[in-house]
Amino acid sequence: MQVQTNRLKRAGLKLPHEPITTCVRADKSGTTFNFTYFLNKINPEFKVSKKPTWKATKVVAGKSNSGVSANIQQIKNSIGYIEYSYKIKLGLPAAQVENKEGLFINPTVPSFQDAAKYATWTAQNDFYAVIGDPAGATSYPIVAATFILLPTEKTEMNKKVTAFIDWAYTNGDKAAAELGYVPLPASTKDEIRKYWEAKKIK
């Protein structure tokens, strides 16, 4: 992986002098898109992609987050990128990564919540925003939002979908946090509900 690594180093860390196997996704992936988005912020020559051509010496690809997780578990001296929920479920170690403020941050739900504060989603952009590499001293720099796309021609079905999402907004925060996801702030949920009403899908 040929990127500038100054933001991925940690002083005093002792690592074995062994070749590193880079574990990546075999399929096109939003997780890969967001990881390469962060790498692009370190080095613009690294292209943002759902399925890039990796330049590491030794690369092993696995299908989905579960496949990458399995490779990380099974291959000695390996490193990879996965959803936080898999890290929690499998008890995998995770790297501290330097954020925009020059601070090394652990991946935790609070550091994800801090990063989400800087999201620029509004009704004008249909609540879509890439929030990787956010500002903030306590923000973890590799974060991503999950989006739900609804076809404009399916108005009645969309009302059923948004009713379920509304229920999840009201009742699902605890379950989401336990799975390693960050619930949306109440103010953002209210803005989305107004957006649904304006689009006549609630």
Mean pLDDT of 51-55: 93
Strand pairing category for 21-25 and 59-62: parallel
Tens-digit pLDDT profile for residues 81-121: 999 989 999 999 998 999 999 999 999 988 998 898 888 88
At 12, give phi and psi (nearest 5°). Answer: 85, -5
Which pLDDT value is given to residue 173?
92
For range 168-177, the mean pLDDT: 92
- The DSSP output letter for 76 is T
- Helix, strand, coil percent values for the chain (each to nearest 5): 40, 10, 50
Q: Average per-residue pLDDT in the chain? A: 89
Per-residue pLDDT at 9: 52
Weakest mean pLDDT among 39-48, 162-171, 173-182: 173-182
Q: In whole angstroms, give the CA distance from residue 31 to residue 34.
A: 5
What CATH class has 6-95? alpha beta
pTM: 0.81
- Can you give the length of the chain in residues? 202
Boundaries of CATH 3.40.190.10 in the chain? 6-95
